[in-house]
């Protein structure tokens, strides 16, 4: 938890309580349904919560916005972002139902009320539009953008233009080239000066 407070302040008592609850809740759920790797569970605040909050460091989501988390897994980045932005609605989508069971259990226990879940593939969602899509290490950028683009409203309703914000690692040059997109790419190490974030990046693809 200290890792989070090192970079962010001005949390309400409720937000601090919710962030503090995550470690115990994920450890408990992970015993039943493995959503966080065994080697990562003891570093959940650095490897998962702070990593997710990279998006909060660059995107100022406004009250009333709707964000879709594509392939949310056990709830990252959506759960930490929902705590950070309590006036924003997050729709967490995954094709594996048991992972959403973890998300729902964590939200219920921590009192997180601005998350909805849907057991589906993003490409099968029809008739809904969101201000942003977020994602963490789910699929190559080409596929992610194909899934996300139809779901994103055009516009500029925050500091960043509406679009896809995803967290990725490694050498991304070929992946970006194959995606035929021109994302803005930020090294996470420049935002959070922790060795874990070397070779990890935030990509933003605007919906033009």
122 is in an annotated binding site: yes
- Structure token digits, residue 116: 């909805």
The closest of 65, 88, 84, 90 to 9, measured between CA atoms, is: 84
SS3 173: helix
110 annotated to a ligand binding site: no
**123 assigned ligand-binding residue:** yes
- Is 78 annotated to bind ligand? no
What are the start-end ranges of the E strands in the chain? 66-70, 89-94, 115-119, 132-136, 163-169, 184-187, 200-206
Per the annotation, does 71 bind a ligand? yes
Q: Three-class SS of residue 147?
A: helix
> Which segments are annotated as binding site for S-adenosyl-L-methionine?
71, 76, 122-123, 136
Binding site per annotation, positions: 71, 76, 122-123, 136
């Amino acid at each position: 938890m200290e890792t989070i407070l090192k970079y962010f302040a001005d949390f309400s008592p409720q937000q601090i309580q919710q962030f503090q609850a995550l470690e115990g809740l994920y450890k408990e759920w992970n015993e039943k349904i493995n959503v966080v790797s065994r080697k990562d569970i003891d570093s959940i605040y650095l490897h998962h919560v702070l990593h997710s909050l990279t998006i909060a460091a660059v995107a100022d989501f406004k009250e009333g916005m709707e964000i879709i988390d594509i392939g949310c897994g056990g709830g990252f980045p959506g759960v930490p972002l929902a705590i950070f932005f309590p006036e924003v609605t997050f729709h967490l989508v995954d094709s594996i139902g048991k992972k959403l069971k973890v998300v729902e259990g964590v939200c219920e226990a921590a009192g997180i009320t601005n998350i909805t879940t849907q057991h589906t593939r993003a490409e099968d969602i029809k008739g809904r539009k969101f201000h942003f899509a977020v994602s963490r290490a789910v699929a190559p950028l080409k596929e992610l953008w194909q899934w996300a683009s139809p779901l994103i409203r055009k516009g500029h309703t925050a500091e960043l233009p509406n679009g896809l914000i995803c967290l990725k690692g490694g050498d991304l040059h070929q992946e970006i080239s194959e995606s035929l997109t021109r994302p803005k790419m930020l090294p996470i190490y420049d935002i959070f000066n922790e060795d874990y974030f070397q070779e990890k990046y935030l990509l933003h693809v605007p919906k033009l």
